[in-house]
Chain A
């Protein structure tokens, strides 16, 4: 059946049709929907793992056991999973194993825009790169064939514009793959030096064999063009921009496998055109390879190494006409993302700002606390870094820092990589205060369950890790829970725990205001007679509050009645409905 599918949903469909049996992932934009869509198929055991390393190891275990397996992550997630990645390359697989990694050029929702293709080269693994949803579906299936044929996991590389674009696909039926019974094979699967030394030659031979395969594979295709003044080598979304702008004018070598690259095909293509142009987002990767082959080419001299491309950018760089639009001359205020009205993070972050705390932050919605007017975050690096960096910060500065510096980390991020940092504080004893913002969900990526929520990816009851018990078991005697809607309680907790002479954990607990089961109070109302226009209520940066004609105004379509703003109003002008 012909249908429109999101690239991620199409990849999930391809995995399903290929007979994937076990999938384990950690959510991360723009990769999340692959696993969410896969979870809709009852035939697949599908799970959220605490982090990407665990997810990849789960997938490896399932492959070892003889079932086709899968894991997905965003580009920075592959950093976390890099440890198993480089050695699964040595052991190889039993049943097919596919690893999806989604890059985020333009950083729509990421802390960097690293180029995951380098992982394929350095871990010595094949990488397929689809250019639309139909290819995402087809390449997911092909990936399993290659994985079993060449005895290695296969990387399926997505990017924001492929992952989050819908295009037309034709779906097929699921085909159960041939059985691959588990067999004990110590020489293949126990990577101690003596065995790993014997596996490494297999890795090199495999990559040579894959490079041969790439020469004739139809995923690497030459599209003819009459104008041979230029030949373009491209892949992924860049291919679509090239076709949009150039149509069939120039010859194009469209690469569906970006590692290993087809040497002879590239040489032949280059020989047939006057100038070889490489159009690739982010780093010079295909270009670098062409230069290693001694092929003169133009790539990053023309195209930027940062941000997303578009058809206009490609047209401009190739010297083709660029459409123009008319902008307004009036200044248009920016509209950056903000914490939602009723966000439970707001009250706690406001408290930290009021107490002039140095806040070391982490990855999640609460990172938006760095934005004015709260400006309550001074560091965000990677998953879990708040906790370990706090320890380092406090060790460096001692008591001067310990009394005013905190880490803030969400429940899901804490499970991902915060626990090990907390173990470091417990072990090496800095007098640190860690605040876990427990909103009972993985929020930023669109509400995924995690080990602290008590539900699994399908929404069924699951194991639930008790954060308080966990922290106490690590040796923290001071563990307390506060309601972030209660500013007085937050203030008391922060002051007391920072003053305490031992490490402590504050759990700021209230479910995300966007969760469907959360019941909202009616929107607050402004008593215009009482409001003196002091803007105290504006200090929390709530998008539902503005000031018009010198009086506070509450947008009733946004306000969820959390009441945090009313705790800031000294004249009692903000009141719950019915209490005027």
Chain B
């Protein structure tokens, strides 16, 4: 059984917990052993957040360490760059191109770096960068960026579309299901 290490990174409050819930449920339904590690509490308040999703025959550590991630899914460009060291050589980055200034940039103590996508590619990563915010808004809500990213991520797995949809249905409230289905499809097909 193939094992995979997926990191979901972003800014606290962007909806990474729903994304990891979806992935966890999906992978469990496919017969994998799964561990998902989240961060709650203070770091959620607009800070850099990371969720680890691991699957395989038998998973021990709940976290992913430097050089171990097969895929990094990022809600924000700077965060993809911040966690790059966790990607294994030749690993895949799936990122939204959205940029959110961290406080040191807001206060002028630091600058938001430019050319990050190229820099990550030069470092050996495969980078799939997508304007997820616009796609989420097109689907009906700026909050659906997480599901747009999941749609995009679905290309990295050899799993049936029905399994993704079943996992989506299981984690999203019924009244938002159609919106999230649109978001998923927009991310997948963009």
- Distance (whole angstroms) from the CB of B147 to the closest CB of chain A: 16
Q: Are A546 and B39 in contact (CB under 8 A)?
A: no
Mark out the residues of chain A between 500 and 559 whose CB falls within 8 Å of any chain B CB in the assembled complex.
Answer: 535, 538, 541, 543, 545-547, 555, 557
Asked if B30 is an interface residue, CB under 8 A from chain A, the answer is: no
| A165-B52 Cα distance, complex, nearest whole Å | 9
Query: Which of the residues B40, B59, B62, B105 comes within 8 Å of A29, measured between beta carbons?
Result: B40
| A237-B124 Cα distance, complex, nearest whole Å | 32
Interface size on B, residues (CB 8 A): 65
Q: With a 10 A CB-CB cut-off, give which of B87, B103, B108, B110 has the most chain A CB atoms.
A: B103
Q: In the complex, which residues of chain B have a beta carbon less than 8 angstroms from the beta carbon of A161?
A: 37, 62-63
- Binary CB contact string for chain B from 63 to 101 against chain A (1 if under 8 A, 0 otherwise): 101111100000000110110111111000000000011
Q: Are B101 and A331 in contact (CB under 8 A)?
A: no
Q: Are A165 and B84 in contact (CB under 8 A)?
A: no
| A81-B40 Cα distance, complex, nearest whole Å | 23
Q: In the complex, which residues of chain A have a beta carbon less than 8 angstroms from the beta carbon of B86?
A: 325
- Say which size band chain A's interface belongs to: 35 or more
* Residues of A contacting B: mostly: loop
Given contacts A337-B43, A444-B41, A543-B106, are A557 and B112 in contact (CB under 8 A)? no
Q: Which residue of B lies closest to A8 (CB)?
A: B40
Q: Are A164 and B40 in contact (CB under 8 A)?
A: yes
| A444-B34 Cα distance, complex, nearest whole Å | 29
Asked if B166 is an interface residue, CB under 8 A from chain A, the answer is: no
Given contacts A324-B66, A324-B67, A330-B81, are A338 and B61 in contact (CB under 8 A)? no
- Distance (whole angstroms) from the CB of B45 to the closest CB of chain A: 4
Asked if A195 is an interface residue, CB under 8 A from chain B, the answer is: no
Q: Are B67 and A336 in contact (CB under 8 A)?
A: no
- Binary CB contact string for chain A from 235 to 279 against chain B (1 if under 8 A, 0 otherwise): 001001101100000000000000000000000000000000000
Query: Which of the residues B48, B62, B66, B113 comes within 8 Å of A240, measured between beta carbons?
Result: B62
Given contacts A29-B40, A109-B41, A168-B33, are A333 and B102 in contact (CB under 8 A)? yes
Asked if B36 is an interface residue, CB under 8 A from chain A, the answer is: yes
- Distance (whole angstroms) from the CB of A506 to the closest CB of chain B: 24
Asked if B156 is an interface residue, CB under 8 A from chain A, the answer is: no
| A6-B38 Cα distance, complex, nearest whole Å | 9
Q: In the complex, which residues of chain B have a beta carbon less than 8 angstroms from the beta carbon of A541?
A: 103, 106-107
Given contacts A108-B39, A161-B63, A340-B45, are A331 and B110 in contact (CB under 8 A)? yes
For the complex with contacts A4-B28, A337-B12, A337-B44, 6 further pairs of A-B residues with Cβ separation under 8 Å are A165-B38, A311-B63, A313-B65, A323-B88, A338-B45, A541-B106
Enumerate chain B interface residues (CB-CB to A < 8 A). 11-13, 24-25, 28, 33-48, 59-63, 65-69, 78-79, 81-82, 84-89, 100-113, 115-116, 119-120, 123-125, 133, 142
**9 closest cross-chain pairs (CB), A and B:** A109-B41, A323-B67, A29-B41, A337-B47, A165-B62, A335-B102, A333-B110, A325-B67, A337-B45
Enumerate chain A interface residues (CB-CB to B < 8 A). 2-4, 6, 29-30, 32-33, 108-109, 132, 160-162, 164-168, 237, 240-241, 243-244, 310-313, 322-340, 365, 368, 371-373, 444-446, 535, 538, 541, 543, 545-547, 555, 557
Q: What would be 18 A-B contacts, judged by CB atoms less than 8 Å apart?
A: A2-B28, A6-B38, A109-B40, A109-B43, A165-B62, A325-B85, A332-B82, A335-B11, A335-B103, A337-B12, A338-B47, A338-B103, A340-B45, A340-B46, A372-B109, A538-B108, A541-B106, A546-B101
